[in-house]
Chains A and B, each alone.
Chain A
């Protein structure tokens, strides 16, 4: 299975600033997924990032707020822009296991953001 390195693991940010989260995979993958998990809640898909094309955002998420880069098949970044306390969440990147034959996901350890 793929190994995903995600950083930062946690950060405390000031309102109005932006933070970029990095996700590195140890193998080439077609699709990478970014999820948000608000405190005590489940995971909500933010966007799907494909290499060589613009990310596909889910309802309620926009590129200006959550710009995503996908420069190659092993790396992606998610930026949380102009942060407010409501953006305090765990942000998780994930990839699909190629061997699963189904959309089984492997996750990074997550980036816990606290916005003051």
Chain B
């Protein structure tokens, strides 16, 4: 079953604006990850945040994690047309850490 629920389902912004995507999950986790998928291709890992971390940065990406609310957000600053893709959060959920369960995903469209 799907672990993560993401919102918005789709997001359209202008180049240069910031994009924020949210993810909620249901069970306890060891870590939460964000992946990106271009045009139905394979997924690319973006960033991992562990359950004892609250915020993490990587380039233009900023991820937050609130384990009390079972939620995470991904912020992409100064977006570019090349950021157009689907973004998925993923957790190890209640699986003993052996499996990765993906959320529904957010489709981001950045207009040039």
Contacts and interface: CB of A to CB of B under 8 A. Distances in A.
Chain A interface main SS type:
strand
A42 B43 contact: no
A31 B96 CA distance: 14
Interface in B77-102: 88, 90, 92, 97-102
A105 B100 contact: yes
Contacts of A112: 40
A6 B42 CA distance: 10
Interface string B32-54: 01010000111111001010000
Nearest to B42: A107
Given A42-B105, A43-B88, A48 B43 contact: no
A105 B45 contact: yes
A104 B45 contact: yes
Contact of B101 (A6, A37, A45, A106): A45
A41 B105 CA distance: 8
Q: Interface residues of B toward A: which range?
A: 20 to 34
B11 to A, nearest CB: 15
B2 interface: yes
A37 B40 CA distance: 9
B43 A43 contact: yes
B31 interface: yes
B42 A42 contact: no
Interface of B: 1-2, 30-31, 33, 35, 40-45, 48, 50, 88, 90, 92, 97-105
Interface of A: 4, 6, 31, 33, 35, 37, 41-45, 48, 59, 90, 92, 94, 97, 100, 102-110, 112
